[in-house]
Amino acid sequence: MAKVSPKLIVAMTCLVFLVFGLFNGSIGPIVKELSQQTNSTLGAIGGVLTFLFMGALISMFVAGPLTDRFGKKIVMVISLFFLSAGLVGLCLTRSLPLMFFFFFFTGLGQGGMEVSGNLVVAEAFPKNNTGIMNLLHFFYGFGAFSGPAIISLAISNAISGKVVLWFASGLFAVLAVLFIILYTNRQIVSTPSHSENKTTPVSVYRSPLLWLTGAMLLTYVGVEFGLGSWSTTFMEMSANLPIQQGALVTSAYWGLITLGRLAGLVLSKKFNSLQLLGLASIGSLIGGIALIFFTGTSTAAIATIMFIGFCFGTVYPSTIAFTSDAFINNQGKAVGLVSTFGSIGGLTLPWMAGLFLERQPPLGFVVFETAIIVAMLALYLGMKFRNIKQITP
């Protein structure tokens, strides 16, 4: 079979992440429908997110070593079929325990797909993996931004919001077949510029740089979802903003994160992944400090939240790009571990932020989020120091 263009492979993976975003962004708007489907309360059905992330955590950690051993193709294909089957199951089941099982099953596919997808695009364009990674995650953000709008349109026309899940399931299956037909595993040839070339599969887990990078993603995902999950409530409590307007703030926040990833694509022509992380960390900290002073206002606080979202945009893809480049001989293990840390941050820190917002004045919530951004900057400096030390003969 003739060699398939890397651009086509990247386009397929971007479509995967677009559908991934559609699915993730649609969970919130259809929670009520899922609760009616299983005759359960909203509080009970809310556990689906826990099971989804539990599955993703397990598969992210396992998918990394599997891709190093068996290649990206098999992990991607199996993960896409898991996603497709899991979505069908959760659309059809009327049992709450089975709903939890299918979300866990879908999470297994989600974690494996995310790790292998990141590695596929890093492999396709190794010389510009920072820019291409930002492009990939731009499509995820666009999907997450579009999913709720499609559901709103469907419900307005008396159509079940689950139509998005059915659509995603079909596309995941089609994309799995396309990857079977078109994608071929390729071996990346390392170069002397990569600091990790001489490490063994075991020693990669002993690298301080890898653990610093994982901690970076843990703190970032935690503060990103913390601000995204609670910005509506924060604006209501701090500035008496009506909840429907607060929801628009949240939507705009995710939209600015998506635009930030597009900006990361452009800036990657002048800055490498570590430099982009530095710019994003400093910009985010400036925004966090400003939000401390603007808490209680309306327009200024909203503008600051938007600025923070824009600065956040490039952090996740640039961190993955840095990981895949710094640990090129053990990409699967490294990206899998770092991604797992990101999921841990998403499971823990937003919950803690909610406790601050519930038990402290709104300013306490902002101080907590800003403290996490300070930790992000400290971890970035640690990554920079370890990277320089590692590449110095």
Give the model's confidence band at 202: pLDDT under 50 very low, under 70 low, under 90 confident, else very high.
low
Asked if residue 214 and residue 174 are part of one domain, the reply reads no
Residues contacting residue 188 through CB under 8 Å, at least 6 positions apart: 123, 126, 328, 331
Position 195 scores a pLDDT of 46
Residue 84 lies inside a defined structural domain of this protein: yes
Q: Looking at the structure, do residues 76 and 225 belong to the same domain, yes or no?
A: no
Q: pLDDT grade, residue 51 (50/70/90)? A: confident
Same domain, yes or no: 229 and 177: no
* 188 located within any domain: no
Distance CA 374, CA 388 (A): 21
pTM beyond 0.85, yes or no: no
pLDDT digit string, tens, across residues 122-136: 888 887 788 999 999
Do 174 and 215 share a domain, yes or no?
no
The pLDDT value recorded for residue 197 is: 45
Residues 270 and 177 in one domain: no
Q: Is the pLDDT of residue 112 over 60?
A: yes
- CA atoms of 226 and 86, how far apart (whole Å): 27
CATH of the domain at 236: 1.20.1250.20
Parent domain of 353: 203-391
| Per-range mean pLDDT, top range of 18-32, 197-211, 325-339 | 325-339
Between residues 126 and 217, the one the model is more confident about: 217
Task: Specify whether 163 is located in the same domain as 257.
Answer: no
Alpha helices by DSSP H, listed for the chain, are 6-37, 42-45, 48-70, 72-92, 96-124, 129-156, 163-182, 208-239, 243-267, 273-294, 299-312, 315-326, 331-359, 362-391
Co-location of 16 and 160 in the same domain? yes
Name the token pair of 176.
């799995």
Q: Write out the two tokens for 197.
A: 């070339």
Place of tokens 């900006």: 263
Answer yes or no: are the C-beta atoms of 110 and 56 closer than 8 Å: yes
**Token couple for 170:** 């079909």
109/121 Cα distance (integer angstroms): 18
State the average pLDDT over residues 368-389. 92
Residues 6+ apart with CB under 8 A from 138: 258, 261, 262, 265
**Does residue 189 lie in a domain region?**
no
116 closest CA partner among 81, 84, 83, 73:
73
Judgement on whether residues 13 and 146 belong to the same structural domain of the protein: yes
- Give how far the C-alpha of residue 141 lies from the chain's centroid of Cα atoms, to the nearest Å: 9
| Residue among 74, 50, 47, 54 at smallest CA distance from 63 | 74
Same domain flag for 176 and 219: no
Query: Exposure of 93 by Cβ count < 10 A (0-12 exposed, 13-18 middle, 19+ buried)?
Result: middle
Whether 196 has a pLDDT exceeding 70, the answer reads: no
Partners of 295 in the beta sheet? 297
Please state the rounded mean pLDDT for residues 293-314.
95
Task: Select from 182, 214, 239 the last residue of a domain.
Answer: 182
- Report the domain count for the chain: 2
Instruction: Say whether pLDDT at 245 is over 70.
Output: yes
> Do 41 and 129 belong together in one domain?
yes
194 domain-assigned: no
Domain's final residue, options 150, 182, 214: 182
Higher pLDDT, 77 or 359: 77
Give which of 381, 118, 130 is closest to 267, Cα–Cα. 130
Task: In whole angstroms, give the CA distance from residue 305 to residue 291.
Answer: 7
